[in-house]
Amino acid sequence: MFGLGGWILHAQWRAREDARLALVEAANAYECLLAAPPADMLPVDELVKGREVFASTCVACHGALGLGVPGLGRNLVESDFVAMQSDEQLQGFLIKGRPEARPVAMPPRGGRDDLTDQDLGFLVMYLRGLQDPRRMPELPALAVSTQPMVEQAAAALEAAGGDAELAEYIASGDRIFHTACVACHGRGGTGIAGNGKALASNSFIQSLDDDALLDFIKKGRTPTDPKNTTGIQMPPKGGNPAMSDDDILDVIAYLRTLQPKAAASASTN
């Protein structure tokens, strides 16, 4: 029905139109997902494993429900990017992360080298369930283990040389650190490349007394500060304005326990 010229024009128009529709679809991938009939129910066992990995690794930056944490990780529930990717693509993304993203990077494997590709596959399923509750079966209640808290308290008491009051500050600082600072500084202050420095065996920490360190943590360090060594921001109070001086002093007591013995005792008061 078209002459040759008309046919070429039509083909060009079609190609442009297809590209436009693909873009519109990509920009609305999450909406389209919820508008379409749901895919199969997800398997409970794999979801439980995915939830476990999510709770131990991704929560710090993406929040307990995956809705994101301001200044850290994005909302994964309403993410068009997540909705658009195939399972394999999404798993591939989690393996690589977005280490170049600024001001905060999405670290490869969420910053945990010990997560296997299979663990990340379970995570992909869990993300599917978070995005589309119609596919999420009822999961058994999260088993809350008190073991880590018992271990934390014992470690704190040992670090405090048996001083029960100091041990309490240290245990509290340990808890605060592992919610407010862990996303960028890693478990036990081991650091996450591209996000935050190692704070264990850290000479900057050892060089300051508690007051000066409190002052530093309250102010943070901008990327343009001449003392900045990574080009990445250390946000004031780790980005958590609600944190009190007492909270930060507890964190400092905990940070002292991560320094070699001689250096730690020199500056503790």
Nearer to ligand HEC, 11 or 126 (CB): 126
Question: Would you count residue 199 as binding ligand HEC (CB under 6 A)?
Answer: yes
Which residue in the set 116, 118, 207, 229 belongs to the binding site for ligand HEC (CB under 6 A)? 229
Which residue in the set 106, 156, 159, 160 belongs to the binding site for ligand HEC (CB under 6 A)? 106
Nearer to ligand HEC, 129 or 235 (CB): 235
Nearer to ligand HEC, 17 or 245 (CB): 245
Which residue in the set 221, 253, 257, 259 belongs to the binding site for ligand HEC (CB under 6 A)? 221
Contacts of 245 (CB under 8 A, 6+ apart): 214, 218
CA distance 236 to 240: 7
Question: Would you count residue 82 as binding ligand HEC (CB under 6 A)?
Answer: yes
Task: Residue 235: name the closest of 103, 125, 142 by CA.
Answer: 103
Decide: 68 and 82 in contact? Cβ < 8 Å.
no
CA distance 174 to 213: 16
CA distance 75 to 257: 34
Question: Would you count residue 107 as binding ligand HEC (CB under 6 A)?
Answer: yes
Nearer to ligand HEC, 125 or 160 (CB): 125
Decide: 198 and 255 in contact? Cβ < 8 Å.
no
CA distance 111 to 14: 44
Rounded to a whole number of angstroms, the minimum distance from the CB of residue 59 to ligand HEC is: 8
CA distance 39 to 136: 11
Task: Considering only the stretches 9-17, 27-35, 71-79, 155-163, report the one whose residues sit in contact with ligand HEC under the rule CB under 6 A.
Answer: 71-79
Rounded to a whole number of angstroms, the minimum distance from the CB of residue 92 to ligand HEC is: 11
Task: Considering only the stretches 31-39, 144-152, 164-172, 200-208, report the one whose residues sit in contact with ligand HEC under the rule CB under 6 A.
Answer: 200-208
- Tell me which residue has its CB nearest to ligand HEC: 110
Token digits for 191? 């650091």
Rounded to a whole number of angstroms, the minimum distance from the CB of residue 256 to ligand HEC is: 11
CA distance 186 to 161: 25
Task: Considering only the stretches 33-41, 147-155, 227-235, 261-269, report the one whose residues sit in contact with ligand HEC under the rule CB under 6 A.
Answer: 227-235
Question: Would you count residue 170 as binding ligand HEC (CB under 6 A)?
Answer: no
Decide: 68 and 81 in contact? Cβ < 8 Å.
no
- Long-range contact set of residues 158-161: C-beta below 8 Å, sequence gap at least 24: 159/257
CA distance 269 to 258: 16
CA distance 124 to 27: 20
Which residue in the set 104, 170, 249, 258 belongs to the binding site for ligand HEC (CB under 6 A)? 104
Which residues here bind ligand HEC, judged by CB under 6 A?
Answer: 57-58, 60-62, 72-74, 76, 79, 81-82, 94, 98, 101, 104, 106-107, 110-111, 123, 180-181, 183-185, 195-197, 199, 202, 204-205, 217, 221, 228-230, 232, 234-235, 237-239, 251
